[in-house]
Amino acid sequence: MQIEIIENLNDIFELKPEWDALFEKASPGLFIHHSWVYQNYKHFQPGSRKLVVVYGDRRKLIGVFPFAIKNFNIKFLKYRVLAHGGSAVTDYSQFMVDPDVNRRLMIRRVLHKLIELQPSNWDFFKIDNLSDDDDTSNLFRNLMLQTLYAGDTATDITPIIVYNHEYQEAKKIANIQRLFRKIHNSCIVQHRVGTEISDQSMAEFCRLHRKSYPDSDFDTSNAQEFYKNLIEDSDFSDHVCLTSIELEGRMIAGHFGFQDRRVFYYYVPGYDKQFSEYGPGQYLLWNLINMANEKNVQEFDLLRGSERYKFNWTNKINTNYTVFGVSPHDRFHKKVLVNSWLLTKTLPYFRQRKKPAQLQHGLRPG
């Protein structure tokens, strides 16, 4: 088992054939696809890339662990942290391991390699968005806690619809249809995949999204270039979809997201508040849930957030965790900072437990 660190973007690109072969064999989540991680590195992680790759016999690629070094402040002090390198614009930090090898042994060796690199490269380990529903991410989290001087904190929940369990409620659906009925006959639902998504339709969706979520980073030039490259990438474009409800040629609700063989990801919605009384956002979400079901995917992932509308549908809830720590051999003051940071993240949880209703507050699509 040979571990190598790749930092050059061209070298990461050249790894694509071996990466794709491992991806096909391992069938991991979509956000460890070569195109996704490469474009993340290209647009969001300039000059700080640490791609850890593991080779087996005959230089066969058997493991991929993307990381990046980022700036981080603790109590107004500036530090560098090792973060996941492919999760800048997604809700999951994923890794990829050949199913025929010892996953636990590989992750342990990767962590020991990272501990060797830490002193001259970064100050802390901070890996966000490790889902308890992803076996490799969950194992990585647990082994970090065993190997490092570290702790973890639950940061987000991710509501899921599992299609082999009941999620449809007649009363709920009837209410959605009742609200939308007044404009139903005048509307068209358009579903575009990959290269069917034109620059014009993306621009129209961005306009709509800005009105719904003015503080979002989705519309930044960096992010839009990232999504455009994914749409134009022949190996990834079939995973990208844009669905909209159009009234007299005008988009009044839309959703930009991703899909693979197993999961549909409810990624970025938007709706025109002028039509909110008709519930176009709810109607579109219902259409997406049904469409994904017809494609025989196993789950509809509503992604991070406890917005109330998500709980109208969900029948499963996963949790994302952040692990924060240092090498077990690191200085005492850094260990104190680890404990201090973890404490600041834990206290709000206990305060919120006194007000459980807070978890139900959130934006509701149209």
- Parse the chain into domains and list their residue ranges: 2-157+319-360, 165-297
Phi, psi of 195 (to 5 degrees): -70, -5
Amino acid at 96: M
Assess contact for 138 and 104: CB atoms under 8 A: no
CA torsion, ordered 150, 153, 157, 163, to nearest 10 deg: 40
Q: Are the folds of 2-157+319-360 and 165-297 the same?
A: yes
Tell me the pLDDT of the chain (366 aa) as tens digits.
999 999 999 999 999 999 999 999 998 999 999 999 999 999 998 778 999 999 999 899 999 999 999 999 887 889 999 999 998 899 999 999 999 999 999 999 999 999 999 998 999 999 999 999 999 999 999 999 999 999 999 999 999 999 987 766 677 788 888 888 888 888 999 999 999 999 999 999 999 998 888 888 898 999 999 999 999 999 999 999 999 999 988 999 999 999 999 999 999 999 888 888 888 989 999 999 999 999 999 999 999 988 888 888 899 999 999 999 999 999 999 999 999 999 888 765 444 444 433 333 333 333
Tell me the whole-structure pTM to 2 decimals: 0.90
Say how far apart CA 347 and CA 311 lie, in whole Å.
26
H/E segment holding residue 103:
helix 103-121
* Strand pairing category for 316-326 and 124-131: antiparallel
- CATH code assigned to 165-297: 3.40.630.30
In sign, the C-alpha dihedral spanning 75, 78, 80, 83 is: positive
Question: The tokens of 251 are what?
Answer: 């988009």
**Residue 269 pLDDT:** 93
Say how far apart CA 273 and CA 100 lie, in whole Å.
51
Q: Is the domain 2-157+319-360 a CATH 3.40.630.30 member?
A: yes
Beta-ladder partners of 84: 67
Question: The tokens of 363 are what?
Answer: 């934006």
